[in-house]
Structure 1
Amino acid sequence: MRADVLVVGGGLGGVAAALAAARAGRSVVLTEEYDWLGGQLTSQAVPPDEHSWVERFGVTASYRALRNGIRDYYRRYYPLTERSRAWTDLNPGAGWVSRLCHEPRVAVAVLDQMLAPYRGSGRLTVLQPYRPVAAETDGDRVVGVVVEHRDGGGRIEITAPYVLDATETGELLPLTGTEYVTGFESRAETGEPSAPDVAQPMNMQAISVCFAIDHVDGDHTIDRPAEYDFWRTYQPAFWGDRLLSWRSPNPRTLEIVERSFTPNPDDDPLTVDADQRVNPGDGNLWTFRRIAARRNFVDGAYPSDITLVNWPMIDYFEGPVIDVPDAAEHLARARGLSKSVLYWLQTEAPRPDGGTGFPGLRLRGDITGSADGLAQAPYIRESRRIRAEYTVVEQDLSLAVRGDRGAVRYPDAVGVGMYRIDLHPSTGGDNYIDVGSCPFEIPLGALIPRRMENLLPAGKNIGTTHITNGSYRLHPVEWNVGEVAGLLADFCLARGTSPRAVRNSPGLLADFQRRITAAGVEIRWPEIAGY
């Protein structure tokens, strides 16, 4: 197969890249190894992690269209109450982690709708389920990529003038010989206050295999997982208690706190204010990442709320899953941990009434679209990251470093984002790292490899460090990065130039920034005082 733009990986960045390039008139091939497009929003089942101003500014127009599309889908097809239907900023799950907690299948439907015109016209070809297995290069250029059907359906070689790596772990980087980094860089290299003295390439953030549950009458206890005895007594040195416990470190203070768990509280969804500045919202884990609040729907439509389990106790940090020979074993054990957490919840978890276990908890694999009841894909927070023309470091956005000056303003800004530097426990035995950050920009230099000419990152594999990845890895930033990568490929094809030249030529850079701004990409934060 041949196309103008090849996008490998159908997560949020990959979809945004394919959509941008196809809208610009380019022929696009998009590949994805899981059954659903959308990555962390869908196959990984993680509700969107977003900044507090998302309803007003700070995301691209197409990402806003995705969010609006999700709300419109609920209004069109779901039996909402009249109050909830009239709720402008409808939060279907009334979860505290996000202003838009929702069932992953709805996001799949909306993403498919956004791509449908280009698939119908033949401009966009989507290959599922395919994963990259080989690549051919000629000097500093990628000539082609070979993808293989996940279930044994053969291989396809795809060539394109521009190749975008939107995989969750930067799979094309080793296949193409592109220079990259993993894990912690050293303080000597980056100057970051939170970096270690010596680089730790195998020290990476925990992965999580999420799952959805509701709570209904009856006993829905699953079979005892094979590794349950190991996990029920597992106590990391830095954790302060057993992993399977309501007690765990507060990410911001590392103080050991006890969270509650009360299924189906009779709360009013319209009173939930999902603003992390005011309340982190994780006091009651049931409502923290709730994705369907039964009170948003007419009586009887939902027998129970549905909540998404992405809690501290499912973080798997026994070993990395990138560039190690036993990655498959660790991925399997991460799934085993999640099953063990569910079994603990059903059988041994302390209840407010003094009893133990919630046998009414029911695994909702129909919500996540998987055979084993868990999310189709693991939630991988940290990717291989390109050695970029510019690497974003902690002191670019740290509130402690920058203070009232705000984050660094890049002359080559191609987007904006905002999230605390939020790092989960890691495979090297580190606890949470949580650093306040300023609203930041995305520099074009972070999207340009130091050597390769036609390979662009389109997800979490941009030029950040282990530290700053904690801010740049979230849903709206990943979408922004992918969208800009797709627009950059089109711009370079139209101008007969290269990504490196666009960044380093003031005239081309200004033209490109005007191009993406016209497409709805915000490249600067608005000047607002006292908000």
Structure 2
Amino acid sequence: MNQPAPDARALHTDVAVIGSGLGAVAAALAVARAGRGVVLAARHHRLGGQATTQLVPALDEHPHVETGGVSASYRAFRDLVRARYGGLANPGGGWVSRLCFEPAAAEHAIDALLAPHIASGRLTILRGVTPRSVRREGRHLTSVRLRADGAAAPDTELFAEVFCDATEAGDLLPLAGAPWTVGSEGRDAHGESLALPGGPRPDAVQSCTVGFVVEHLPEAAPCLPVGAPPEGYERWRDSQPFTLEIAGWDDRPHRYRMFEEGPDGHPPFWTYRRLRDGAVLGGPDAALINWAGNDYADRSSVDHPEEAYTEAKRLSAAFLHWLRTECPRDDGGHGHPELTLAPHIAGTPDGYAEEPYLRESRRLRTATPVRQQDLEPVPGRARAANRPDSGGLAMYHMDLHSRIGHPASAYAPTAPFQVPLSSLVAAEPDNLLAAAKNLGATQVAASAYRVHHGEWAVGEAAGALAARSCARALPPARIVGDRRELTLLQGRLAADGVPLAWTLDVPPGDPRFAAVQLLAAAGALTGRRAAELDIRPEDPADAADRHALHTAAARLLGDPTTPVLPDTAPADTATRWGDLAVTLADRVQHALGRSARTADGAHA
């Protein structure tokens, strides 16, 4: 089975990552960082997905992002973006995010992150290829056949030990015969309040958006022809409807003005997703238009991708026409003809996104998917329910845009949560991992993972698991299901700056970071440390703290009944919590036959 089809060229690697978005980038980085060979098979020539081809380079993130809750590699991506602007914190000055920028900055950042691994020979990137078919041996996926853009280009049959599906719509899942779902599971399935009533509605996929970038050129307005309204303009104008007033997350209408503060005190619509602040950077302002007005929910972007893109792009053209002709002006008039498409910023011939921004993907069907209840706040605790098999962190509210046939949006808050590694593992094929928005979660829960840092965290966890699977010659499910193997994997993740639990005052770079992450993910946080995101490692560990730490350490070894270290200190001994965590983590690593610095078999 390792021989390619007669009409295809063969390519062999340890791990194949299929996709071109942020999850794919993070997965490829994690595999290469672990010393394994990886081929990144990307549909698009530009990598970055949400930040580039989907035109959402205004990062949807959580409020702690500047100080914690993301991995070292995601922070490096953000730092490289800012470096393109001389260290400017928010080049666009958009108020939806702490970091808004032009897509080219994301391209440069991603290229810089990947370049050392390409130079080392560990990473190969194929661009402009799409998965068309697979080959399997029983429950094992052996190869994926990739079709190139050019009609004359030969197909590539990509052979690997482990495959990561990081496509935008989970395209590899049905090709590989993996169990998957899409749309709403229905409230009957898991009792989620945000799920649609009744049973499953696979057709009820969330809306997609074809964003576009416009520049503000007031002096050139008389020379900018508006043109005729696009096809379907009146229908969409009235049915969307086109307006600067939207339903807010608090069930109240939020009213905006174009360039001035709105009547309810909301900041201007123009600066919502502004990507370029001309007053700071020079030249004209440029903004991304991704708004309720151009959310497309007439047809499923998963079931009918080409038709949905074409129609969503027409909708966006109609919304732009409305902005230029009928949108209420702050001075009492109508229309802003001074807004013009900016292809040179969008990186496309016409200024519209190269592909739609998908809020939903096919999702891996697992026995215990992540549910709404798993992400909700827990009374008296600062975090969502702990996941001992954590492979990373994310935090975003559960934000469901209109679903096909169900126009109402839905919203619920979350507590800081984790990426459970078990949600990435397919039951079949046994060497296929979800590495983007396609993790094993319900529609409701997946809506909280879909944003930039969430997709990165899922991809990075999948890549690390894939690399570990190759290094140990074990299926991914065996790695996750064996507590000792899981501890070694988590130790490697933490050593690479991937947080496993929310501990904001022990960041990557702190010498206690890896130990704290291992113990905290294993359930060591109790009392005040469970009620706050700061764990104060310098404070003493009382009797309850020591018991929790010892129990967590034993759990990391797969035997919660066997103490790792005799706990003979009297209750009033002023042992610092962080010091005890480090001591216990070192004992765990030695008991597993590794030190904290050589947790991965590839580095031993």
TM norm structure 2 = 0.78
Deviations 1:34-92 (A, max 9, x none): 231000011111121100010111001100011111111211xxxxxxxxx5x6xx111
> For the structure 1 residues 282 and 502, does the alpha-carbon distance in structure 2 shift closer, same or farther, using more than 3 Å as the test?
farther
> For the structure 1 residues 396 and 511, does the alpha-carbon distance in structure 2 shift closer, same or farther, using more than 3 Å as the test?
same
Query: In structure 2, what is the equivalent of residue 423 of structure 1?
Result: 400
Deviations 1:452-503 (A, max 9, x none): 2101111000011110111111111111111111111111111121211111
Q: How do 1:298-317 and structure 2 match up within 5 A? A: 301-302=282-283, 304-317=284-297
* Equivalent residues, number: 489
Query: In structure 1, what is the equivalent of residue 547 of structure 2?
Result: none
Residue identity matched to 1:320: S
For 1:261 and 1:118, how far apart are their aligned partners in 2?
45
Query: In structure 2, what is the equivalent of residue 45 of structure 1?
Result: 55
For 2:107 and 2:122, how far apart are their aligned partners in 1?
20
Cα shift at 1:425: 1.0
- Describe the SS at the equivalent of 2:444: coil
Cα shift at 1:24: 1.7
Residue identity matched to 2:440: G
Query: Larger deviation: 518-527 or 191-200?
Result: 191-200
Cα shift at 1:155: 1.8
Query: In structure 2, what is the equivalent of residue 206 of structure 1?
Result: 207
Cα shift at 1:256: 3.1
One of 452, 455, 476 as aligned partner of 2:429:
452
Contact 1:185 1:201 in 2 (8 A): yes
The answer to whether residue 37 in structure 2 is matched with residue 27 in structure 1 is: yes
Contact 2:142 2:160 in 1 (8 A): yes
For 1:467 and 1:446, how far apart are their aligned partners in 2?
15
Q: How do 1:246-325 and structure 2 match up within 5 A? A: 246-250=244-248, 252-262=249-259, 283-297=267-281, 301-302=282-283, 304-323=284-303
4+ runs deviating over 6 angstroms:
none
For 2:425 and 2:407, how far apart are their aligned partners in 1?
30
For 1:221 and 1:440, how far apart are their aligned partners in 2?
49
Query: In structure 2, what is the equivalent of residue 270 of structure 1?
Result: none
Q: How do 1:139-154 and structure 2 match up within 5 A? A: 139-152=138-151, 153-154=153-154
The answer to whether residue 545 in structure 2 is matched with residue 529 in structure 1 is: no
Q: How do 1:77-476 and structure 2 match up within 5 A? A: 90-152=89-151, 153-195=153-195, 196-216=197-217, 217-219=219-221, 220-235=224-239, 242-250=240-248, 252-262=249-259, 283-297=267-281, 301-302=282-283, 304-323=284-303, 326-399=304-377, 402-405=378-381, 406-476=383-453
> For the structure 1 residues 229 and 107, does the alpha-carbon distance in structure 2 shift closer, same or farther, using more than 3 Å as the test?
closer
For 1:345 and 1:40, how far apart are their aligned partners in 2?
24
For 1:417 and 1:57, how far apart are their aligned partners in 2?
10
Deviations 1:155-189 (A, max 9, x none): 21111111110000000011111100000002222
Residue identity matched to 2:220: G
| Unmatched 5+ stretches in structure 1 | 76-84, 236-241, 266-279
Larger radius of gyration: 2
- Describe the SS at the equivalent of 2:392: strand
For 1:221 and 1:467, how far apart are their aligned partners in 2?
43
Cα shift at 1:232: 4.5
Deviations 1:383-420 (A, max 9, x none): 00001253100111123xx3333311011111111111
One of 13, 18, 26 as aligned partner of 1:3:
13
Cα shift at 1:151: 4.0
For 1:248 and 1:477, how far apart are their aligned partners in 2?
25
Cα shift at 1:231: 3.9
Query: Larger deviation: 98-107 or 17-26?
Result: 17-26
Contact 1:147 1:156 in 2 (8 A): yes
For 1:385 and 1:180, how far apart are their aligned partners in 2?
5
Cα shift at 1:233: 3.8
Contact 1:221 1:362 in 2 (8 A): no
Query: Larger deviation: 285-294 or 219-228?
Result: 219-228
| Unmatched 5+ stretches in structure 2 | 1-10, 504-528, 535-604
- Aligned-residue identity in percent: 38
For 2:241 and 2:289, how far apart are their aligned partners in 1?
14
Residue identity matched to 2:302: I
Contact 2:230 2:317 in 1 (8 A): no
Cα shift at 1:283: 3.8
For 2:245 and 2:66, how far apart are their aligned partners in 1?
33
Cα shift at 1:339: 0.9
- Describe the SS at the equivalent of 1:74: coil
Deviations 1:111-140 (A, max 9, x none): 011111222233211111111111112221
- Describe the SS at the equivalent of 2:220: coil
Cα shift at 1:440: 0.7
Cα shift at 1:442: 1.2
Residue identity matched to 2:193: P
> For the structure 1 residues 52 and 503, does the alpha-carbon distance in structure 2 shift closer, same or farther, using more than 3 Å as the test?
same
Cα shift at 1:33: 1.5
For 1:167 and 1:13, how far apart are their aligned partners in 2?
8
For 1:466 and 1:222, how far apart are their aligned partners in 2?
40
Contact 2:16 2:38 in 1 (8 A): yes
For 2:265 and 2:175, how far apart are their aligned partners in 1?
41
Query: In structure 1, what is the equivalent of residue 591 of structure 2?
Result: none
> For the structure 1 residues 224 and 159, does the alpha-carbon distance in structure 2 shift closer, same or farther, using more than 3 Å as the test?
farther
> For the structure 1 residues 230 and 403, does the alpha-carbon distance in structure 2 shift closer, same or farther, using more than 3 Å as the test?
farther
Query: In structure 2, what is the equivalent of residue 272 of structure 1?
Result: none
For 1:178 and 1:55, how far apart are their aligned partners in 2?
37
| Higher relative contact order structure (alpha carbons within 8 Å, sequence separation ≥ 6) | 1
For 1:282 and 1:470, how far apart are their aligned partners in 2?
25
Residue identity matched to 1:498: P
Cα shift at 1:330: 2.0
